[in-house]
Structure 1
Amino acid sequence: MFNRLNNRTMLPNWCRVVSQILLRGRISQSVAAFGAAIWLGLAVVTASAQTDPVRIVALGDSLTAGYGVAEQESFPVRLQAALAAKGIKAAINNAGVSGDTASGGLARLDWSIPGDTQGVIVELGANDALRGIDPAVTRKALNDILASLKQRGIPVLLAGMRAPPNLGADYAAKFDVIYADLAKEYGVLLYPFFLEGVASERALNQGDGIHPTAAGVDVIVKGILPKVEELIRQAAPK
């Protein structure tokens, strides 16, 4: 019985039944007090469960890790703050490793995504492009990441990347389509370009012209936020 009553969908109807019984005086005061205590306890447990933060892992490279900025200015921290400002409780775990390629992210996937993870933001591939890695290798690694997360039943937001222009049109044509192709194949959310509004903007990048400043991180967060909200709607317990 109590296992059934732990189901939030049953609680309102059960509460109404208890209320009617209490009002009609069909049970003794001692039993009524006992029933009221159970009612209150279940309500507290239910309210607690509803306010637990959704656990999201940001799996990425230096753009996620927060290279060159203070910890409190990193993408996961600023994203969590932006969600909190909208009344959305989420815990964004920073699983960014500077220098990581898509293959590197795949190699550490199992221990980077704990068993209680409810959603994952995948931001990988920038280093692949910077190093001119064969796009087929990048595609295979990202494919295997998405396949593994799908098998685990974890919703994903895939953050896309674009090849730098110096690698040529042929390389870009093979690399840039990877993200849209895989998002469609696996039915996951897609944010087409993680650095949208920041890439090539000198004022929003550090001296290397690659990593965003704190202000640049805020631009990224603002752009990707609607997609993260979609991810959380998919990830949140029903």
Structure 2
Amino acid sequence: MIQRRFMAALGGLVLGLAGRPADASTEACPAVPMPALWVPSFAAAVARGGAVKIVAFGSSSTAGAGATLPWRSYPAVLERQLRRALPGLAITVMNRGAGGEDAVQMIGRIESDVLADSPDLVIWQLGANATLRGLDPGTFRRLLLQGLERFRQARVDVVLMDNQRAPRIAAQPNNGVYDAILAEAAATQPGVTLFRRGALMDSLATRGVSHAALLVSDGLHHNDRGYACLAEALGRGLVEGLAVGTLRARR
């Protein structure tokens, strides 16, 4: 039963969402190849059935700066995507984004704003404000690992999200350092995987959707289409990850 649910969900997501706009006012997002996101704690919650809780944790990209309405932020769009892909589950994506924060502030919110909700998955977006402010990379790495250790203690897996391709970020010296730290953590820390937002935007650019087409005029934040493309790719990765786990279980 669980395997059939996962495979049916994958088929439904690919057929129902690929190239489809998130709402009538949003242009379509081309489906681009992205790695599946195997997240055991999320898979276990889906297998149990009933309620599935996800916390979207981060700064202004999570809060939805640049979106015309709150329900066009990426967490809100992701919730709708997953509910369509996984019918019968009460999926909630809680938005715990706070504009302007970097790792220094976020680490102080983990208990009250994330773990207090007993999530089955945390999507942690960080690094943009560290880049803009030139936060010491060693401090960034230390705080990131501290947060990941706390999530591991709580037995909650984490999807890290790296930076958007935006002029204001690209203009900063060492702008790739923080993305590299996130990638290293995802590769070395148990229960952690990485959603490559930058790679998604690059792939979309090869299909005619420029970086600028996904940003508002401030040269930093996503517009409605950018959040929709982000949420669709993230949702597809999570559901494809369920299929990956099913295949592993068969071996």
CA gap of 1:233–1:119, structure 2 versus 1, over 3 A, is farther
Matches within 5 A, 1:183-194: 183-187=186-190, 188-193=192-197
**Equivalent residue number for residue 108 of structure 2:** 107
Identity level (%)? 28
TM-score, length-scaled by structure 1 = 0.69
Deviation at 1:223, TM superposition (A): 2.0
**Equivalent residue number for residue 68 of structure 1:** 66
TM-score, length-scaled by structure 2 = 0.66
**Equivalent residue number for residue 196 of structure 1:** 200
Match of 2:157 among 136, 155, 158: 155
1:130 matches 2:129? no
CA gap of 1:233–1:150, structure 2 versus 1, over 3 A, is farther
Q: Point out which structure has higher relative CO (alpha carbons under 8 A, 6+ apart).
A: 2
CA distance in 1, matches of 2:226, 2:134: 25
Deviation at 1:142, TM superposition (A): 1.0
Cα shift readout 1:142-162 (whole Å, capped 9, x = no counterpart): 111101000111111111227
Unaligned runs of 5+ in 1: 1-48
CA gap of 1:116–1:229, structure 2 versus 1, over 3 A, is same
What value does the CA root-mean-square deviation take over the aligned residues?
2.6
Matches within 5 A, 1:157-236: 157-161=159-163, 164-168=169-173, 171-172=174-175, 174-187=177-190, 188-193=192-197, 196-197=200-201, 201-229=211-239
**Equivalent residue number for residue 11 of structure 2:** none
Could you tell me which amino acid in structure 1 is paired with residue 150 of structure 2? S
Deviation at 1:192, TM superposition (A): 2.4
Q: Size of the alignment, in residue pairs?
A: 184
CA gap of 1:119–1:230, structure 2 versus 1, over 3 A, is farther
CA distance in 2, matches of 1:137, 1:85: 40
Unaligned runs of 5+ in 2: 1-46, 245-251
* Contact 1:123 1:194 survives alignment (8 Å): no
Deviation at 1:68, TM superposition (A): 2.9
Larger radius of gyration: 1
**Equivalent residue number for residue 83 of structure 1:** 82
* Contact 1:123 1:160 survives alignment (8 Å): yes
Decide which moves more: 224-233 or 137-146: 224-233
Could you tell me which amino acid in structure 1 is paired with residue 172 of structure 2? L
Structure 2 counterpart SS, 1:76? helix
CA distance in 1, matches of 2:153, 2:71: 33
CA gap of 1:222–1:159, structure 2 versus 1, over 3 A, is same
Deviation at 1:107, TM superposition (A): 1.1
Structure 2 counterpart SS, 1:167? coil
